[in-house]
Chain A
Amino acid sequence: MKVAASLAVMLIALLCSNAGILNSVEAAKQNETDSDLQARIDQAKAGDIITLASGEYEGPLTISKPLTLEAEPGAEVTIANKSEQPAVTVASHDVTLTGFRINDAAMKEQPSILINRSQSFRLANLEIETGSYGIRMADSNQGEIRNTLIEWAGERADAPVKLSEKGNGIDLYQSHDNVLEGNTIIAMHDGIYMENSDRNTVAANRFERLRYGVHCMYTVGTVIRDNAGEYNITGAMIMAVREVEVSSNRFAKQNENVNSQGILLFDAESSVIRDNVTEGNRVGLYVEQSARNTITGNRVIGNYIGLQLLKAEDNQITDNLFVGNVVQAEAKQSVRNELSANYWDAFQGIDTDGDGGSDIRYAISPFFQSVVKAKPAFQLFFQAPSFQFLEQLFQSDKEAWTKDAEPLMAPSGATAVQAAGEDHGLSMAVSIMLLCAAVAILIKTGVKK
């Protein structure tokens, strides 16, 4: 109470002393509240809680002792930053930031929130509008970022901002054991980028219009669970990882870019990809140069290519559902993978012993991949009837093809594609009109009088 009272007195004193000097009282207030905020932070003792009333505060702020910075319940608090520095720099353990908005649209090097060498920090319910990185964490462990919205706000007068000029939503470097949960990240470069960072949990986040939703580089033990992504170039980019879990995520409509995928594994080992839904992407599941992974229970629906294996070895791919993909699978130079009990809707099996699995194997043709690998220009033949014809003629060396040993005869669970967006009633109306018109013409011209 004493601290608050003395602060109030200080504030009034400062206001009074400066009001005459500055022309605008508004500007004065403005200036004073923020210098006040950094001052309040500097004067606070470790473990204090600083509560912010509604209003705009100016950054940059630096927090170098454990404390809590939170908005009053129901207050509209904005921290605006026009400097080249981070809007908020966290350089201490046990710092909590909750409930306010950060307006930091200037395009610059420094992130909007920098968390440097911190432990056990907690960020929640923030709204970050950034022209750089949203939150960058370096050497920071056991922290939490929850329910935070990070959205790109940078603009340039002369030209639209390129994807490569944007920063990542949440960027981890050598930061371990953090929990990133319930965040929404929109229109940044990568949603969550983890480099040399182990055992982080990425759960229930939303990713939209990013380059990659989740991007792992050199990570061990990352858990990516219950996230959803749409309209990104790739949903989950899992590269150079060990023992990562990717489960129950949903990645849809990632099909605009020539490199789009739902989930991509590259140089991934001993990881588990389980119960995900990839729908309407260019490639549903893309596995390259990855070994000893378990891919099971995924629903791969309505992608241009369902499963693509390139130089993938010793993976276990079982009990997945492949429905409505233009090409259900392509596999090239992939050996010793164990494929079994997947459901492939375009494969007609025979089940004589009635165990629900086909007695004939489903062999995945490497032909298209081989052709376009040598000469990418021929990619124009994708699913041309003439190419399919040729593909069927090439059955040589079939023993070396990747095969599902016992594909399922019937899908387990629902196969209906969920996403809708086009009007279905209208096409029914048009089909009735077409029929009527056709019949009318037939009667008028064709029937002998």
Chain B
Amino acid sequence: MRHLIQVAARETRLGFRNPWAYSFMALFALFMLGLLLINAQGYVQGYSGTTGTLLNLSVYLLPLMALLLGSFSLATEKEEGSWELLSVYPLSTASFIVGKYGGLALVLIVIVSVGFGLSGLIGSLAGASFGFQTYVQLLVFSVSVSLLYLAVAMLVGTIAKNRWQALTIGVSIWFFTVIGWAPILLAALGFLPYPLIKPVLSVLTLLNPAELARLFTVVKLGGGSIMGPEYYEWMLWVKRPTGTIAYIAAVTVWIGAAVGASQLIWERRRSRG
């Protein structure tokens, strides 16, 4: 545990010395603020044009940010040889991976907090204030989507041999889950017999962290009815507290599985030298 905390603290320190963290922070804060002020209709509440836009901005930006920061951090350890040094110490792989995850998670949460803090404060002063539930819901969304993609990033950083590979894999995952998702699924699922489309799409949605978090947020903001009669029962269920519990469980399983997998792969490579 002590090792884990040390690794996490080191990771956070390194994270905030990384100019990337600050450029992402500035980018996120600027976009949040810009979109909020462009769309300013006096208040931001429920599922509306403004929240929809902010939500989609976060879906574009945060996964990419988490994927790059996370996978680079692990790939750098290999490239610069600091892992070779660390591995001679009695430091477990689990402490190392989980510690890195924890440290980076804090970096991402700070970035998101600055973005939300600034836009919330300046928005209020400029007459575009957030409703409290909406604000918290969007914040929860941004934090959870960052943490989900950070877990994926750990896996990417583990598999990649260097930063270049990490970039390639990371951007591919980002493109597939954020941009290519609907086009690819529309094309692929179109071949399935109709009764299969809904169950297959539902399962695939659970496997795409961006869609999982986005849909949960839309439903919690009250927009579940827009998904149509096919999903109505689901939407009602998600809107109740059971939905929140299920979402927390899903996010935990996701992060646990991805971080666990990277720990296993890392451990295998370590023991085989």
Contacts and interface: CB of A to CB of B under 8 A. Distances in A.
A binds B: yes
A430 B124 CA distance: 12
A435 B124 CA distance: 14
Interface string B13-53: 10111000000000000000000000101110111111010
Given A258-B228, A378-B186, A435-B114, A428 B124 contact: yes
Interface in A96-132: none
Contacts of A393: 183
B226 A389 contact: no
Interface in A413-449: 415-417, 419-424, 426-428, 430-439, 441-442, 445-446, 448
Given A258-B225, A302-B49, A375 B197 contact: yes
Given A384-B211, A421-B131, A431 B124 contact: yes
B185 to A, nearest CB: 8
Contacts of A437: 113
Given A258-B228, A326-B48, A379-B227, A385 B186 contact: no
30 contacts: A255-B222, A255-B223, A256-B222, A258-B228, A260-B225, A302-B48, A304-B225, A305-B226, A371-B186, A375-B194, A377-B201, A380-B211, A381-B182, A381-B186, A382-B226, A385-B59, A386-B178, A386-B181, A416-B42, A417-B48, A422-B45, A422-B134, A424-B43, A430-B132, A431-B116, A432-B121, A441-B12, A441-B106, A442-B16, A446-B12
Nearest to A417: B41
Interface string B100-132: 000000100010011011111100100001111
Contacts of A345: 39, 41, 49
Nearest to B211: A384
A326 B47 contact: yes
Interface in B54-81: 56, 59-60
A346 interface: yes
Chain B interface main SS type: helix
Contacts of A386: 178-183
Interface stretch (B82-90, B229-237, B240-248, B251-259): B229-237
Given A258-B229, A376-B228, A427-B130, A420 B43 contact: yes
Nearest to A233: B225
A427 B124 contact: yes
Contact of B198 (A377, A383, A446): A377
Interface in A326-376: 326, 328, 345-346, 371-372, 375-376
Contact of A385 (B49, B56, B189, B222): B56
Contact of A372 (B132, B181, B228): B228
B136 interface: yes
Question: Is the interface on chain B under 10, 10 to 19, 20 to 34, or 35 or more residues?
Answer: 35 or more
A385 B210 CA distance: 10
A423 B182 contact: no
Contacts of B131: 420-424, 427
Given A345-B39, A386-B181, A434 B117 contact: yes
A386 B229 CA distance: 22
B65 to A, nearest CB: 15
A446 B13 CA distance: 5
B182 A387 contact: yes
Contacts of A419: 45
B53 to A, nearest CB: 8
A258 B234 CA distance: 12
Interface of A: 255-260, 280, 282, 301-302, 304-305, 323-326, 328, 345-346, 371-372, 375-390, 393, 415-417, 419-424, 426-428, 430-439, 441-442, 445-446, 448
B181 A424 contact: no
Given A324-B49, A390-B186, A431-B120, A380 B227 contact: yes
Q: Which 10 A-B pairs have the closest CB atoms?
A: A431-B120, A422-B131, A446-B16, A435-B117, A379-B228, A386-B182, A416-B42, A434-B117, A427-B135, A386-B181
A160 to B, nearest CB: 15
B168 interface: no
Given A379-B230, A386-B178, A427-B134, 20 more contacts: A258-B229, A282-B225, A304-B225, A324-B48, A326-B48, A371-B186, A378-B197, A380-B202, A380-B231, A383-B52, A389-B179, A417-B48, A424-B130, A431-B124, A434-B113, A438-B113, A438-B114, A438-B117, A441-B12, A445-B13
Nearest to A441: B110
B151 interface: no
Contacts of B59: 385
Which of B49, B121, B202 has the most A CB atoms < 10 Å from its CB? Answer: B49
Contacts of B16: 442, 445-446
Contacts of B220: none
Contacts of B46: 280, 302
A390 B110 contact: no
B214 interface: yes
B186 A256 contact: no
A162 to B, nearest CB: 15
A257 B225 contact: yes
Contacts of B95: none
Nearest to A418: B42
